Structure 1
Amino acid sequence: MEYQKFISKFEYKLWLKLIPTVRNGRKTFRFASLNNMQDQFLDNWVYKLSRDYSYRTVKTYCYAIKTFLIYIYTLIDLEGGISNQRLQEALHSYESYLVFGVSSDSEIAKKVAMIVGSPMLVAASVITNLAAVNKFIDASEQLRRALDELESKGAIVSRDLVGFSLETSVGTSVTSTVRAALRRNTWLGACIAGGAHRIKRAGLRAESRVPEIAYMDEFGGDEKAFPIDKCAELIDSAPSLRDKVLWSLTAASGCRISEALNMLKDDIVFKEKELHEKKIFIVDPATRRDKLIEYIPETTINELSYKGRDKPDTFLIEPFASIFWMHLAEYLIEEKNKDRLRGGTCHHSFLIRSITEGTPMCLSYQSLIERFQKVALKIAGRKYGFHSLRHMYGYYLANHCPNPNPNNRRAFGLDLHLVKQYMGHRDIATTKKYAREDAQMLHAAMAASNLIRMGGGPQTVRQTQIIFLKQELQRLEKLEEAA
């Protein structure tokens, strides 16, 4: 088959490599291909990304660009070059390539997928991929404008543009034939020929949305939130004191796992006798780089994940707060004894440490999640990750936490803006994904409205809710007696 000849001849995925590296203390990536100009352009672009984004984001963006360039260069090889019009068609077809692959109705997407395959992305991944590609297209357009200006002034690095860098410009002239060849055979050349336009998402794969209504099971769990009634048992079943501390911390505060792993012992106020005086703060690593450098290398500091919070304060929920303080006291004593056996004191202040070595675990997510998933499956009968504790926390605050506001019509469930603050969200829309309303209470309100309209039964929403809750109480009491 002709396509098979192409794949063996060009080996697309081999000649475009992504190589992890470190530049000026930052973990990043370098591209290696047959085009030196492109590689230097990408190196500079990725390095600039690494200064503004987390390592995880940079890694995601780099692999997205690799996929995109393989797509473009496969088309160039198949057709022997690319015009500006054909480039725009390829960009327009890119989402279809990502989502449908060989099943795409796009002629371009289909024939490229037949050569190199397709990632067949879900909606959330498509959004991230296109965000990366559009950022790359913007940078490519800036390069095009820079080259046009250099050409107009007679300042181009070399006859074939090899060695061109956005950071340098020395001059010789370049012939029209070289520019024509560059236009035909490379992504950057196509950009130089007339510019590439951003890709507008067509929405070919429906974006999955978390329902704003929670259909919880009898233990207070669903597909997102860990069952709150089983959470104490989960923590008690943790395989080590370290895990008990980590799991109860996440359950009590609703913090992200990355925030827990970045936490220092100084972020916890725990020596006060009164429970309400004990506090946990979540601190942005970027605000204390001078302190972190005493414990971990600069490359590790640059990798630390932090999504941002308006305030460092946390709001702890019971009984997980009390469980956390109890295990924390035991854990600190255990770690001090381990340090003594290791022949010295600990040289860092991170709360979560390796059980055997006592080293920080701020980048050791995988080993920790596997332990959690194993116990969660045993306790709840389904697979859960650390984020399920954050969903559980948000659901509890929105529906079952006693409301301290005497003027609020709800005795339970905090105002969504308070939930937003405690969960550390910047956007209320994000909070709604976690703090979903209980379906049972909404059902009661709807039943009341229907009965009022029909002219029978209770005449107000409140009356119907009272009847509904009494019936629900009787049902739960029967279940409790049967248990």
Structure 2
Amino acid sequence: MGFNMEPKGIRSKKNVTLIVYEKDGRSAYKLLGPSGEVPAFAFFANSLKNCSLNTRKAYCRDLASFYDYFFEACTYIGDYDEKRNSLKKSELKRIIESWHDYLVLGEYSGIDLVKRVSKTLPPRLCSQNTSARKHSALRAFLNLSEILRREDAELSKLGLLDDDVKVDFAPLFDGVNSGVPRTVHEINAIKKDSFFQSATKNHFGGLKLNKTIQTSEVLKYDSGKAFPLDLAFNFIAALTTYRDKALYALYAASGCRSNEALQLLIEDVVLDSKNPSNNKVLFIDPRRRLNHASYTALDPVDRQRLAWKGRESEVGFLIEPFATLFFENLKLYFIHEYFPHNRHTFLFQVLARDDARGRPYFLTAPTSRQDIFKSAARKAGIPESVKGPHSFRHAYGSYLLNYFPRKNGGYGLPMATVRVIMGHKKIASTEKYATHDIDLINAQIHYANILIYQDGNFRSFVDQKLDAMREQMADFERRSKNLSLEK
């Protein structure tokens, strides 16, 4: 098949096989369908080469799932037959729009096509959130296809593109610029016969997903997944190494993302021995220092696992008592567990007493780190709805918004301030994490309900409005008096 290295991963489904292999020091993806390799998929996967490893992996897996459904659904389309070996645009649109029902409802869907496919290709029913995530990949694929369709149309008008060289496949990547590079090799690959190409016959161009699937409403955060900070001490105490105690104390203190903590370098932790209150942690985008010795020490495949989602501020804002807990356990980690070497300066490293000792901890399998979390969570009585270290980020945002003590005696910081502290570029990102605490809202409503019934008598809404206006006037007078005193 022309791979320059042996495949390092194969995921087989009923109609497709996703192959992961190494190319130019990076993970690459190809898909085999009923009639062989699917060139459109490889072209799309290659368009993601500048995205993070996790993004490429998720998009390729999700698009492979769509292909699996697509090939199965083709066999149930009424007008489809092998002699014609093509689909009408309306039929293709029907398949795309039914995928959401297939993922979420399966055989319980009211769509006949979905019911029939579900009998021969039973889905693992997923949530609205998961379906929305999978459709992000499909949307990116459709977007890329439309860009190529328009480019080819323009080239054809100018007589610069032969009909048999047109790119006949679908797009799926938000934010792709109009100029999509295509080498002669890529164009020749796309020209190869494939079931998918002949079945779609230029119909992917201009297709869009149902807006209800694109909406962010289904992506709202479930506050029940936030880590209960009152149990954080018990959780950290249940961890068995100083490395993990320091790591999770940092999650709780800073609300940082998992990769931000795992990729820290020793020099990113700034200590002030004379004034420990000045100790700080910096979260620095790896792209800003790509030729750092710790990064170049990694082989190319490992280097691509450096991840970064974006952060407005490099300085981590650490909250107590977890900040102190982090620095205390960090000191014990260096004394008792850290393996000194000159290979790299990643802060958190593998502790195993074998050849892996000293390796950057972020390169270990996520499942092994997740097992450590689950074990400590069971011992500390953490609810099963709390799934992993990212739950600390949600708890951190909620704490800042609802309970953080302010100098004026109040509690909770404005959403705009929480945005800066959490490193978000947009306030919408903060709103997903920094949710108003339901318990706090319930307490406020309970208190208000008690005030409404004074001495067992209901106070009219007119009286309540008058009280509110009097309080506002009193507050205005206090501020006016303070302003006069300052003058």
The verdict on a shared fold, with TM-score over 0.5 as the criterion, is yes
Q: Tell me which amino acid in the other structure corresponds to 1:190.
A: T
Q: Tell me which amino acid in the other structure corresponds to 2:459.
A: G
Residue of structure 1 in register with 2:347 after alignment: 351
Q: Distance in 2 between matches of 1:161 and 1:445?
A: 60
Q: Map of 1:23-172 to 2, 5 A cutoff?
A: 23-33=23-33, 39-51=38-50, 53-78=51-76, 79-80=80-81, 81=85, 82-145=87-150, 153=159, 156=162, 166-168=182-184
Any idea what the Cα deviations from partners look like across 1:220-257, whole Å, max 9, x if unmatched? xxx32323222223222211111111111111111111
More divergent stretch after superposition (304-313 vs 40-49): 40-49
Any idea what the Cα deviations from partners look like across 1:392-448, whole Å, max 9, x if unmatched? 2222222222213x4xxx622222222221122223233233333344543454456
Residue of structure 2 in register with 1:360 after alignment: 360
Asked if residue 192 in structure 1 is aligned to residue 202 in structure 2, the reply is yes
- Whether contact under 8 Å (1:304, 1:363) holds in the other structure is no
- Whether contact under 8 Å (1:281, 1:314) holds in the other structure is yes
Query: Normalization by structure 2: what TM-score?
Result: 0.76
For residue 392 of structure 1, the aligned residue among 367, 382, 395 is 395
Distance 1:335 1:271, change over 3 A: farther
Q: Tell me which amino acid in the other structure corresponds to 1:239.
A: T
Q: Tell me which amino acid in the other structure corresponds to 1:395.
A: S
Residue of structure 2 in register with 1:227 after alignment: 228
Tell me by how many angstroms 1:272 deviates.
2.8
Q: Distance in 2 between matches of 1:414 and 1:462?
A: 25
Any idea what the Cα deviations from partners look like across 1:375-401, whole Å, max 9, x if unmatched? 112112423321222222222222222
Distance 1:358 1:158, change over 3 A: same
- Whether contact under 8 Å (1:245, 1:328) holds in the other structure is yes
Distance 1:167 1:189, change over 3 A: farther
Residue of structure 2 in register with 1:411 after alignment: 410
Tell me by how many angstroms 1:452 deviates.
5.5
Any idea what the Cα deviations from partners look like across 1:326-378, whole Å, max 9, x if unmatched? 11112122345x44xxxxx2411111110111110113232122112211121
- Whether contact under 8 Å (2:250, 2:261) holds in the other structure is yes
Higher helix share: 1
Q: Distance in 2 between matches of 1:160 and 1:201?
A: 29
Partner secondary structure for residue 192 of structure 1? coil
Q: Distance in 2 between matches of 1:158 and 1:295?
A: 47
**RMSD between aligned residues:** 3.7
Query: Normalization by structure 1: what TM-score?
Result: 0.76
Q: How many residues align?
A: 421
Asked if residue 209 in structure 1 is aligned to residue 220 in structure 2, the reply is yes
- Whether contact under 8 Å (1:155, 1:169) holds in the other structure is no
Residue of structure 1 in register with 2:431 after alignment: 432
Asked if residue 311 in structure 1 is aligned to residue 313 in structure 2, the reply is yes
Q: Distance in 1 between matches of 2:205 and 2:165?
A: 21
| Gaps in structure 1 of 5+ consecutive residues | 1-11, 173-177, 215-222, 340-344, 465-483
- Whether contact under 8 Å (1:354, 1:360) holds in the other structure is yes
Q: Tell me which amino acid in the other structure corresponds to 2:54.
A: R
Q: Distance in 1 between matches of 2:187 and 2:111?
A: 43
Q: Tell me which amino acid in the other structure corresponds to 2:183.
A: E
Q: Distance in 1 between matches of 2:199 and 2:155?
A: 15
Residue of structure 2 in register with 1:473 after alignment: none
- Whether contact under 8 Å (2:32, 2:38) holds in the other structure is yes
- Whether contact under 8 Å (1:250, 1:256) holds in the other structure is yes
The share of aligned pairs that are identical, in percent, is 27
Residue of structure 2 in register with 1:471 after alignment: none
More divergent stretch after superposition (450-459 vs 410-419): 450-459
Tell me by how many angstroms 1:299 deviates.
2.4
Any idea what the Cα deviations from partners look like across 1:143-171, whole Å, max 9, x if unmatched? 44555567774854979999xx9422899
Residue of structure 2 in register with 1:475 after alignment: none
Distance 1:16 1:375, change over 3 A: same
- Whether contact under 8 Å (2:152, 2:167) holds in the other structure is no
| Gaps in structure 2 of 5+ consecutive residues | 1-11, 169-180, 472-487
